[in-house]
Amino acid sequence: MKLSGAEIIWECLIREGVDIVYGYPGGAILPFYDAMSKYPQVHHVLVRHEQSAAHMADGLARATGKVGVAIGTSGPGATNLVTGIATAMLDSSPLVCITGQVASPLIGSDAFQEIDITGITLPITKHNYLVFDIHDLAYTIREAFHVARTGRPGPVLIDVPKDVQNAKIEFEYPEGEIVLPGYHPPKEASTSALEAMLRMIGEAERPVILAGHGVLMSGAMREVLEFAERTQTPFALTLLGKGGLPEIHPLSLGMMGMHGTGYANLAIQNADLLLAFGMRFDDRVTGNLKTYAPNAKKIHIEIDPSEIHKNVRADLPIEGDLKTVLNQLLPSLSPLEHKSWLGQIRDWMEDADERDIVNQDVGERLFAAHVIHDMWKATGGDSVVVTDVGQHQMWEAQYYLHQNPNTLITSGGLGTMGFGLPAAIGAAMGLKSSNVWAIVGDGGFQMTMAELATAVQERVPVKIAIMNNGFLGMVRQWQEFFYEERYNATPMYAPNFVKLAEAYGIPARRVERRHDVIPTVEWANSITDGPVLIEFVIEKQDIVYPMVPAGADLHAMIRRPLPEKNSV
């Protein structure tokens, strides 16, 4: 069967199980788009900006576990994908991005809309390819999907010149195993490592599990929970680890780090053993490395060898797949108790509860913490929540308690404003679900709000909750604490979001009082045919507490004062 390069791309996508692609056409990718009508089994979504194509593919990937696919043309189409690719790279999300390129003879001549996209994306992809020969195209696509989804997942880019898309050859799909010299993701732990781990666990009096994104990536949710319950070890979650373990659990410490719970951070700083499961000791988790968990030995299980010893030196490093390693360990793991340690943690929890604004009477003033807490109650805590980046992201992490895997999707490593709405669209389409909420700020939402048109055109039943405080809130918070309240470039004008939504034909309401939160969320949940939007007008100068200043000791948290010292 003789096929063009463009048709070969479509054939390979189908064989990789792809049923949705997100993209934007242009000259250098036009042969691919011209062939699209021959492949109706793959649904193409026309985005309003290529950055959103990458975010939508990313949202789909995180929600479903499949490889997300984004398409762009050469030049600006390709460079517009870059932010989304970098977001996926830092959060280990499996993407394949396919870009058109100018014809092979023109490469290097500064032709119209030519850009070296493989050079640009080399530092932010797991791997990338420039395909000069149509005979290599099909195998390259197979290899790209294999690299994207195996080991530590990540984004892969394939750049295909226009003449390669137009060329024709007899097509035969390359079957067989993908073998890449030098690419052998580790799986099992050695017997000696397992024995050392068992010994360290048995000797510990104040252990803490640090559960990261790797718990979800490995599918090790059951194994980590079994480990925690058998050894009575409390667990703290990274931002991307949320959902890996049930947060309503007696052993849960909630989120750790810069805006983590006070008791999680105090537990880490007072621990004598840290069990780092699929996490990378990011600076937002550790604070000052010189004073981080000073009396704790560290066991680090991680599939990516480059992450071991990178930030925090491990006393016992184990390179391997977390699920595999724990399944090796569990048969030999004896039950343990840590009653005194858990009692100390309960004391810290009681202090945190007293400070928590959710437990304070603020009348009808609308604080974001109350909004998120009430949303959690109104949705039964089982929605998939996709956030943008900023204060609302941290409030979601603190007050929406996730019980199930892959129910929080957020930009952690890169902190990409504009991620929320498009990623939520991708998640809702991938899951074919009306149970996906985008929680966004007024700043990040305005970066990609053109995708409201995409949501309407595709009739995506995504629910959008805008936390509108009239500021770039997290930057304003830093200005309040560290820049003597010089609020330069943070007050932000916004349109009437309700009228904006209505202009797109989207049902919308505004909420300004707390007693309206739950009824309005329930109203939004009742709408399952297309998007719906709620604008929450919240307190302008609210603060995310606790906060560990950048580079400070993890226990040196700025905390909300106790109620008797502070009216709110």
- Strands 508-511 and 532-537 come out as parallel
C-alpha 255/C-alpha 475 separation (Å) is: 21
* 3 state SS of 184: coil
Q: Which helix (H) or strand (E) holds 135?
A: none
Instruction: Tokens 């909004």: give the residue.
Output: 371
The yes-or-no answer on residue 162 being catalytic is: yes
CA gap 77, 506 in Å, rounded? 28
d(CA 164, CA 35) in angstroms, rounded, equals 14
Q: Which two tokens stand for residue 166?
A: 């137009």
Is 269 assigned a catalytic role? no
CA 193 to centroid of chain Cα atoms: 31
Choosing from 38, 112, 485, 499, the catalytic residue is 112
334 burial via Cβ count (<10 Å: 0-12, 13-18, 19+) = exposed
The residue type found at 134 is: I
User: Measured between alpha carbons, how far is 385 from 400 in angstroms, rounded to an integer?
Assistant: 9
Q: Dig out the tokens for 527 from the structure.
A: 């709408």
Among candidate residues 538, 531, 543, the one with its CA nearest the CA of residue 479: 543
In the residue annotation, 497 being an active-site residue is answered as no
CA distance 555 to 360: 24
Burial class (CB in 10 A: 0-12, 13-18, 19+), 191: exposed
Cα distance between residue 136 and residue 95, in whole Å: 20
Catalytic: which of 474, 497, 535, 547?
474
Active-site residue among 7, 11, 16, 50?
50
Tallying the residues shown for the chain, one arrives at 568
Tokens read off for 467: 């936390």
Main-chain phi, psi angles of 397, to 5 degrees: -65, -30
**334 three-state secondary structure:** coil
Q: Does the active-site annotation cover 16? A: no
- Nearest residue to 469 (alpha-carbon basis) of 409, 559, 397, 391: 391
Can you tell me the distance from the alpha carbon of 155 to that of 85, in angstroms, rounded to the nearest whole number?
6
Find out whether the peptide bond into 519 is cis, omega within 30 degrees of 0: no
Catalytic-labelled residue, pool 7, 101, 145, 162: 162
Of 36, 113, 344, 492, the catalytic one is 113
- Look-up of token digits 């997290």: 474
In the residue annotation, 112 being an active-site residue is answered as yes
**Dihedral sign, CA of 275, 280, 282, 288?**
positive
Distance CA 26, CA 228 (A): 52
Identify the burial level of 459 via C-beta atoms within 10 angstroms of its C-beta, where 0-12 means exposed, 13-18 middle and 19 or more buried. Answer: exposed
SS3 call for 504: coil
Strand order in the sheet with 95-101: 43-46, 20-23, 68-72, 95-101, 155-161, 127-130
Residue 299 in tokens: 């066991």
- Active site positions, annotated: 50, 112-113, 162, 474
